[in-house]
């Protein structure tokens, strides 16, 4: 599925950016017997239903034209939500000093799950403050990182 997600990202990114938005993530997943192509978009002031509809309409036409997915699927375009994923360097940079949750592929200092405040980011690492202690986590060891909502 990674290949489909990469192809759709290449198709979707210019459409999303033309509408003044940021492409956060692309997922192609099977739930039950149905396939879903989910496009997550964002912008500083938040995404509106109109933003989602515009992107969905243009993207749907482009996907029909290019036809990168052979099976039937449902296209969903939405906001990433309050616990949005952090993947790109610019995601981490944008949310410095915010609470985040990180899961790693392999243990880092004996653990694979971390919650703390994002302190720093480089191309190779992120630094998370956990209870007053700074922990450097190699980015290539991160399986998932997202904002942590503390409501």
The residue among 38, 59, 78 that closes a domain is 78
Question: How many C-beta neighbours within 10 Å does residue 56 have?
Answer: 17
pLDDT at 44: 85
Whether residues 98 and 60 fall in one domain: no
Q: Looking at residue 82, what is its pLDDT?
A: 86
Residues 10 and 72 in one domain: yes
Q: Is residue 84 part of a domain?
A: no
What pLDDT score does 1 carry? 60
Average pLDDT over residues 45-69: 94
Q: Would you give the distance in Å from CA 74 to the centre of its chain?
A: 19
Average pLDDT of the residues in 43-71: 94
pLDDT at 106: 95
Query: CB of 128 within 8 A of CB of 120?
Result: no
Is a pLDDT exceeding 90 seen at residue 41?
yes
* 8 Å CB contact between 2 and 20: no
Taking all residues of the chain, what is their mean pLDDT, rounded to a whole number?
A: 94
CATH number at 96 reads 2.30.30.100
Q: Report yes or no on 83 lying in a domain.
A: no
Cα torsion 113, 114, 118, 120: sign: negative
In this model, does residue 150 exceed pLDDT 80? no
d(CA 35, CA 74): 6
- Provide the 8-state DSSP code for 83: T
Mean pLDDT calculated for residue range 66-94: 92
Q: Are 80 and 29 in contact (CB under 8 A)?
A: no
Q: What is the pLDDT of residues 85-139, one digit of tens each?
A: 999 998 999 999 999 999 999 999 999 999 999 999 999 999 999 999 999 999 9
Overall domain count for the chain: 2
In this prediction, residues 8-14 reach a mean pLDDT of 96
Pair (98, 72) in one structural domain? no
Average pLDDT over residues 135-151: 92
Provide CB contacts within 8 A for 97, sequence distance 6+: 117, 118, 119
CATH number at residue 44: 3.30.300.70
pLDDT at position 2 over 80 = no
Judge if 27 and 67 occupy the same domain. Answer: yes
**CA nearest neighbour of 146 among 116, 119, 124:** 116
Q: Provide the CB-side half-sphere exposure for 145 (13 A, CA).
A: 27
pTM: 0.79
Domain of residue 30 covers 2-78
What the block records as the tokens of 17 is 């950016």
* Pair 59, 19: CB distance under 8 Å: no
């Amino acid at each position: 599925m990674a290949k489909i997600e990469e192809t759709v990202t290449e198709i979707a990114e210019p459409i999303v950016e033309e509408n003044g938005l940021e492409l956060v993530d692309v997922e192609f997943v099977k739930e039950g017997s149905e396939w879903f192509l989910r496009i997550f978009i964002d912008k500083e002031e938040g995404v509106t239903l109109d933003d989602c509809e515009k992107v969905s309409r243009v993207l749907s036409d482009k996907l029909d034209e290019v036809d990168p997915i052979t099976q039937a699927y449902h296209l969903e375009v939405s906001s990433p939500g309050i616990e949005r994923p952090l993947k790109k360097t610019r995601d981490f940079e944008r949310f410095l000093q915010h609470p985040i949750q990180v899961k790693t592929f392999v243990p880092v200092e004996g653990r694979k799950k971390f919650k703390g405040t994002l302190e720093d980011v480089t191309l190779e690492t992120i630094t998370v403050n956990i209870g007053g202690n700074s922990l450097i986590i190699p980015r290539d060891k991160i399986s998932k990182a997202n904002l942590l909502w503390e409501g």
